[in-house]
Amino acid sequence: MSEAMRDRLIVGLDVPTLTEADRVVAALGDTVSFYKIGHQLAFAGGLGFARELAGSGKKIFLDMKLLDIDNTVAKGVENIARMGMTMLTIHAYPKAMRAAVQAAEGSGLTLLGVTVLTSMDDADLNEAGYALTARELVKKRVAQAREAGMGGIVCAPTEVNEMRDVAGPGMALVTPGIRPAGSDHGDQKRVMTPGDAIRAGGSHLVVARPIVAAQDPKAAAQSILDEMAAA
């Protein structure tokens, strides 16, 4: 049953070098089919690596969290679509999302709206000048993402169940902040186990440190896939 979960587990290549990223991918082999590349690896040659992985048949979630004026966002999305990426994040501001959706039309690239980072809680948002709670702001941005025509959103697993009602059945709900029972939460504040996140309605789970920092990454990934399948 865990085979059915392979395309729903996204391993975050949150490592500092291409050598380390290549080591993780080689260790995981066919167990993992989907990888996330974010800022750390992107600025160490990871964009070329993303193209190579996509060319080898892997799915790639490019986590760039784009936000800029409409034209700049659109031009960036157009080029990323040409790279063969599967998913791309855009900060869930309505104008940026609308520009991105128009630029990605017909490409097959799934655009994800970033609602509220999972490292942030209500106190962090208050410090940043927001009057809304994390849950209220996520809910508002999910509705705006759906209206803009985005393919999905990124939210904490603790918010998935409620946000599915707002997003509707067609949008992907991608959840970072996944931590197997007993593992260190690190800088994540709104976390959930893989099984609980699947039961809550998450479509894709992003897992980085519990896999890439494990002594046996392949065994760690398989254990998470098994837990997802059992859920």
Number of Cβ atoms within 10 Å of the Cβ of 226:
15
**Residue of 7, 22, 58, 65 marked catalytic:** 65
Question: How large is the average pLDDT for residues 107-125?
Answer: 91
Alpha carbons within 13 A on the beta-carbon side of 39: 4
The annotation places the binding site at 14, 36, 63-72, 118, 179, 188, 208-209
Whether residue 226 is predicted with pLDDT greater than 90 in this model: the reply is yes
Please give the pLDDT value at position 181: 63
The answer to whether 217 touches 27, Cβ cutoff 8 Å, is yes
Q: Is pLDDT at 135 greater than 90 in this prediction?
A: no
Instruction: Find, among 61, 156, 162, the residue nearest to 112 by Cα.
Output: 61
Regarding the domain with residue range 2-230, which homologous superfamily does it belong to in the CATH classification?
Answer: Aldolase class I (3.20.20.70)
Give the residue, 213 or 155, on which the prediction is more confident: 213
Name the active-site residue from 7, 22, 58, 68.
68
Question: Is 65 an active-site residue?
Answer: yes
Is pLDDT of 188 > 80?
Answer: no
Mean pLDDT of 63-87: 97
> What residues form the annotated binding site for substrate?
14, 36, 63-72, 118, 179, 188, 208-209
The pTM assigned to this predicted structure is 0.91
What is the three-class DSSP state of 112?
A: strand
The backbone torsions φ and ψ at residue 69, rounded to the nearest 5 degrees and listed phi first, read -65, 160
Least confidently predicted of 85-99, 165-179, 188-202, 210-224: 188-202
Alpha-carbon distance values, 123 to 80, 130, 192, 209, 221 (Å) = 34, 10, 20, 25, 33
Q: In this predicted structure, which of 130-134, 147-151, 178-182, 199-203 has the lowest mean pLDDT?
A: 178-182
pLDDT, residue 185, reads 44
Known catalytic residue at 218: no
